[in-house]
Chain A
């Protein structure tokens, strides 16, 4: 019944703390993915289409 779990996906997540601020690693990963996607979207060259005046 279980699909191909990556190990430990049902154990509680790890938390990162800075003083009173804390965040779960999976949430941090999602936020980092958004930032990376944004950076890539802006930096990667877009395929050239045929120009037309």
Chain B
């Protein structure tokens, strides 16, 4: 391989050689001559660059082995821990089936059997989603899982729950069937009575459709991701009434130990 080869770039094996060739890359000749050019700046652990700061903040809050750990504290040994993941899985199924419905438009499933089946998948994944979420919520309540700087995990969970209810509600309104007619007729009074109806009109199909298929799933998704990242960065909450001594962590004698505050 030489610098005067007619078209060296077409041979991937030779890329390195091309870069090394002084005729093609002028930085090669300036190494060591221009003091402002550092051939390999490497990673400066204390750099004040914004990029470096962001990376350091990320790494200290959520290093890869906390984001994707292959171990958990020994007390993480109950089926109740599976329900957060089940909720997440059901949410994904909702998103995928919802995308298909959104693509085809709201009238599709009234008139075609693949449409009706897709709608059924969407309907039942929502039922599963709420079943799993409620069991998850009960579990986290009885574990007082907000302890130890985990209040935000609880709060994002509750917001995800409330936002999911809003998403499901708008979903029932965009079915464009008798159920939607009745729900919008009934629900308008409650919303009007507290002033929400002035801005959020349950009889406005266009508004409900956009909220349901676009904005609200985005809100639930972003909050759910935030929620799960918080869990990963804080680690799973240890059992109630556990104390640590110098060498080990042990259950304490009864009520004398940890409070259940965040």
Whether both chains belong to one complex is answered with yes
Which residues of chain A have a CB within 8 Å of any CB of chain B? 1, 3, 30, 33-34, 37-38, 40-42, 44, 46, 48-49, 51-52
Q: Mark B106-136, 1 if CB is under 8 A from A, else 0.
A: 0000000100110010000001000100110
Specify which of A33, A44, A46, A51 is in contact with B131 (CB 8 Å cutoff): A33
Which residues does chain B contribute within 8 Å of A48, judged by CB atoms?
Answer: 77
Residues A34 and B134 in contact, CB atoms below 8 Å apart:
yes
A51 partner residues in chain B, CB cutoff 8 A: 74
**Closest beta carbon of chain A to B139's beta carbon, Å:** 7
Given contacts A30-B127, A33-B131, contact A41 B113 (CB under 8 A): no
Give the docked Cα–Cα distance between A42 and B127 (Å): 21
Interface of B is mostly: helix
**Chain B residues near A49 (CB-CB < 8 A):** 77
The stretch of B79-87, B154-162, B169-177 that contacts the partner chain:
B79-87
Chain B residues packing against A (C-beta within 8 Å) = 71, 74, 77-80, 82-83, 113, 116-117, 120, 127, 131, 134-135, 138-139
The residue that A1 contacts in the complex, of B79, B113, B138, B139, with Cβ under 8 A, is B113
**A52–B127 CB distance below 8 A:** no
Known contacts A34-B131, A34-B135, A52-B71; A41 and B117 CB within 8 A of each other: no
Find chain B residues with CB under 8 A from A30 CB: 127, 131
A14 to chain B, nearest CB (A): 19
A41 touches B116 (CB 8 A): no
**CB pair A3 B120 closer than 8 Å:** yes
Which among B77, B82, B135 has the highest number of chain A CB atoms within 10 Å?
B135
Report how far A33 CA is from B130 CA in the complex, Å. 11
Q: Specify which of B71, B82, B127 is in contact with A41 (CB 8 Å cutoff).
A: B82
Bound complex: CA of A49 vs CA of B81, how far in Å?
A: 14
Selected contact of B116 from candidates A1, A37, A40, CB within 8 Å = A1
Contact A46 B79 (CB under 8 A): yes
The CA of A42 and the CA of B77, in the complex, are separated in Å by 10
- In the bound complex, residues from chain A placing their C-beta under 8 Å from that of B127 are 30
A49 to B70, CA, bound (A): 11
B231 CB to nearest A CB, Å: 17
* Cα(A44)–Cα(B78), bound, Å: 8
A44: chain B residues within 8 A (beta carbon): 79
Q: Can you list 24 A-B contacts (CB < 8 A)?
A: A1-B116, A3-B113, A33-B131, A34-B131, A34-B135, A34-B138, A37-B83, A37-B135, A38-B80, A38-B135, A40-B79, A41-B78, A41-B79, A41-B135, A42-B79, A42-B139, A44-B79, A46-B77, A46-B78, A46-B79, A48-B77, A49-B77, A51-B74, A52-B71
Most chain B CB inside 10 Å of its own CB: which residue of A3, A30, A46, A52: A46
